[in-house]
Structures are given as C-alpha cells and as structure tokens.
Amino acid sequence: MMTQKVLEWFATTGQLGLVGLDLWQEGPSRFLQFWEPWAALSTLALAFLAYRWRMQMMAVKQQSSLQQLQRLHDQRIENLKSLLESVRIINSRLSFDDLLLKIAAEGARLVEAEPGSIGIVEGEYLVFKALWYRGMLQEKSLVFPLGKGIAGKVAQTGKPYIVNNPDDEPSLLFPEDVKLYAPHGFMDIPIVDRNGKVVGVLDVRRPGGRLPFDETDVQILELFAHQAAVAIENGLLYSKLEQSKRELEEKNKLVEKSLREIESLYKNEQKVNRMLQELNQMKTNFMIVTSHELRTPLSVLKSHLEFLSEGLTLFAESQREAIEGCISAVERLVENVENIQTMLEISGGKIELDKSTIDLCQMIRDIVIEVEPFAKQRKQKLVVDVPGKLVVNVDSTKLHSALVNILQNAIKFSYDKGSIYISLTVKDAEAIVAVRDEGIGIENGELEKIFEKFYTCRDPSKHTSGKFKFSARGSGLGLSIARSYVEAHQGKVYAVSEGMGRGSTFYIHLPLGSMDN
C-alpha cells in the first residue's frame, strides 16, 4: 500500500515538474515560489526509500545467518548422534581385540577419516599390534618408547597431535611406515582413563582429497576417546574375567578328570585291599596250621632230646655237643612257634589279661638273673637300678614276656664287653622302666618300624639268627609282642637313639592307676 502511494506521489510530482517548467519560463521567482515545498517532500521520500531498502537487506542477511546457525546446529546434532552411536557400538559385548578394531573404525568414521590402529600402553612402551591397510587389518607390530615418535609423545604427554603433511614432520619414528600407511597425514589422540592415566593412543589417517584435520576433529575424537577409555577398561576387565572363566573351566575339567581317576584308583585300591585281606587271611590260616603242625613234632623232638640229655655221660664229647646243639635249636624253634601263635592271638584281638598283685622290682631282678648267663657269654655287664619294692596289679606272664623281649633285644644289639643299664622310676603316677645299651643304635626312620610285625632288616641276605648272638634277628615278633602286651595294660613302649653306633634306650610306661582294675 505504501509503495502504491509512493508511485502515485511520483506521478503527481512528474506533473508538477511540468507545471514547474512552465512557471520557470514565466520567471525564476515564479518557479521558486512553486517548487520549494515539493523538493522537501521529494528528499524525505528518497530518505524513506533508502531506509526501507536497508532494512530489507538487513532482514535478508539475518535470515541467512539464522539458516547457517540452523545448519550448524543440525550438524552438531548429527555429530552427537554419530558419537553416541559409536559409543554404543564400542560398549557392546566384544572380545578385547574386536573392541580395539571397533574403536579404530568408529573413531575414523566420526571425522570422515580412515582407521589407523589402537596402541596400548604396556609398561614403558606404546604397542601397536595391527594396522589398517587398504580396508583390511594387517598384523604389524610397532613399538614406541614413551616420549619417542609422535605416538610415543602423545602417550607420554596426554596431548593430541595432528600431522597433515608427513614430509614436513621431523619427529617421525617410522617414516617409511608413515609413507606406506598414512601418506596424506594422520592424527593421534590420547585415550585417558577415569583416573587421568593414558592407557592408549587412537590413530586415524587423512584420506586423499579430505581437508586437513583441525581442532574440531580433535574435539570430536577427544570426546570419543574418553568413552573409548571406559570401553577399553571394561574390555580388559571382561577379557580377564573371560580368561579366568576359561581357566576355571579348565581347572574344573582337570578336577573332574582327577576325581574320575581318584574314583578309579579308589575302586582299584578297594579291589587290592580285598585281595590283600584275602592274602592276609590265607597267610594267617597258613601260620595257624603251620604252628599247630610244628608244635607236635617239635614237642616230640624236644622230649626225646631231653631224654637223651639225661644220659649224656654215656656218649662221646662230640655226641654230647651235637645233642646240646639240637636241644638249643629245638628250643628256638619252639620259641618262634609260640611267638607266631601269640602274634596271631594278638592280631585277632584276643589279649586277655589275668591280673595279679606282684612286686615289679623283684620281677625285674628275676628277669636279669634269667638272662644273665647269656650276657656273660658275651662278656656283657648288666647294671640294675630299681627301688626296693613296687607293688602293681598286672598280668605277670605277659609283662614278664614284654620285659624279657626288650632286655633280650638290648643284649643282641650291644657289643661284646658292653654294659646294659636297667632302671625303674616312678613319675606322675607311672612306673617307667628304662633299658639302655651302648650298642649299634637305631636310625631315626627305624624307631617306629622296629615295633612292626615281622620287621627285621631291609636286606634279608644280612639276616642272622640266634637267641643272643650279636645283631641276631629272629622272627621279628619280639618287640611287636612287647608293645602289644604293654598297651594292653594301658601303657606305652618307645625307643630313642642318637643314631647309628650311639646306643639306644627303650622306655616302658605303665600307668599305676589303670593297673588296679
């Protein structure tokens, strides 16, 4: 409407101009009188039109700026969406190696670049284990000491670095690799964890034809690198968890295998035990039958030899010696048979005590008198140190047998002309009998084995027999019987020795309180 009025005004002004020309012809004074008010109006109209044009130009420029801001806003929204999508991708459940590949690929996509690689800080080095080349990943190991080369400096300082023209960059550590893999330039971004520690470096390459990298690209990749650091940390934890899980599964498999083997061994052991029990029972049966079968002929031999011994004066000296040797041999056989029979009864749990009140001191003195003739044959000295009297309630037969076996063992394993000491003390409601010799001694590993049934020596070829012969070993039952009889009285028997050649001491502990029952 305003424009229409202006046009109308111009039309009127044109007509007035013609009128003004006619008036000029009539005279200047006449013209000026007519033209001055219309000139002022024309000036105002031109000024208004200029202002109107300027305002329209400013509106067009402002509209263009708003459109540019809208485009920048839309671009930022797209970048943010792309960044969030990249973050979502790298935070998905991936293996650690696949995670590094995804980080490299997504980082490059965000800035329209090509992926390079991911270097991980390992101690004092930054290690790249693979590089992208022509759209494919190649196994390529590059190791940067921290502070050396572009990537090494980024890893040490935590600051990004842009190289748009590799030919002008003097800090390249592997220039030949840069010419091959990133001829148009590259950008390295530090990957910093939540504690501010650089854990790796993201490398992207500038493709041919792309504008040089700038600070905007750095800002985008730095935002992405922060999320990548979290993903790498989680990936390492997940990788360790998966490794631990695999190791646990392997261990479980090994445990299952071991359990199956143990079960198999247990079944085999059960089978072997049954066989051993059967063999042991067969051995016991054999010994029972053998002892019974030997007892009768030995009794007959012994009785006949004793009959012959009554008329030794009728025989020559050599014959008398032969008869005495036979009597001694038969006595040893009878003793061994009786020991076997006794051990069989003990093994069957048939130890029955027939207790009576005796003087233990007198029993020890009687036993010493009993074995003294044999000690004299070896020129040994028996030293007795017992109190005057100690009344106890025991099975005298079994306790006598136990003491004889231990004293007999001391005589056997003492050197000729040696001394054997027998003592009796009372301490803490116990009667303690000690038999100490100065003989061959006992190795530490043998101190318990000597009380086992049938234990004599490791090498059977060195076995010697005899009742009191030096180092003679009989059936290996004497000490086992002694321990069984003492333990039946609620006591204990054990030996101590400082080693071979240093003698030994056997202790018999008899609790006085339990012997009254």
pLDDT, tens only, 213-235: 999 899 888 888 887 777 777 76
The per-residue pLDDT for 66 is 65
Angstrom distance (rounded) from CA 506 to CA 414: 13
The per-residue pLDDT for 36 is 58
Q: From residue 154, give the alpha-carbon distance in Å to each of 109, 111, 167, 448.
A: 21, 19, 19, 73
Same fold, 91-244 and 351-516: no
- Alpha helices (H) in 310-383, listed in sequence order: 317-347, 360-377
CB atoms within 10 A of CB 107: 26
Q: From residue 308, give the alpha-carbon distance in Å to each of 305, 318, 319.
A: 5, 14, 11
C-alpha of 422 from chain center: 55
Would you say 178 and 161 are in contact if contact means Cβ atoms under 8 Å apart? no
pLDDT, tens only, 406-448: 998 889 888 999 999 999 999 988 999 999 998 888 888 888 8
The per-residue pLDDT for 449 is 84
Angstrom distance (rounded) from CA 322 to CA 326: 6
Angstrom distance (rounded) from CA 281 to CA 288: 10
Asked whether the predicted pLDDT for residue 162 surpasses 90, the reply is yes
Tell me the Cα Rg of the chain. Answer: 59
Whose structure tokens read 């390992």?
122
> Which range has highest mean pLDDT (7-16, 465-474, 475-484)?
475-484
Asked whether the predicted pLDDT for residue 510 surpasses 80, the reply is yes
Residues 34, 36, 42, 47: what is their CA dihedral angle, to the nearest 10 degrees? -170
Lowest mean pLDDT of 246-250, 280-284, 460-464, name the range.
Answer: 460-464
Would you say 118 and 94 are in contact if contact means Cβ atoms under 8 Å apart? no
Angstrom distance (rounded) from CA 234 to CA 91: 8
Q: Which tokens hold the place of 440?
A: 């061959």
| Class of the CATH-defined domain 351-516 | alpha beta
Asked whether the predicted pLDDT for residue 70 surpasses 80, the reply is no
Which amino acid, 56? Q
The per-residue pLDDT for 6 is 44
The dihedrals phi and psi of 216, each to the nearest 5 degrees, come to: -60, -45
Angstrom distance (rounded) from CA 204 to CA 298: 105
Angstrom distance (rounded) from CA 127 to CA 145: 9
Q: Which of 332, 322, 325, 331 is nearest to 303 (CA)?
A: 331
Confidence label for 146 from pLDDT (cuts 50, 70 and 90): very high
pLDDT, tens only, 231-240: 777 766 666 7
The domains of the chain are located at 2-81, 91-244, 351-516
Asked whether the predicted pLDDT for residue 508 surpasses 80, the reply is yes
| Class of the CATH-defined domain 91-244 | alpha beta
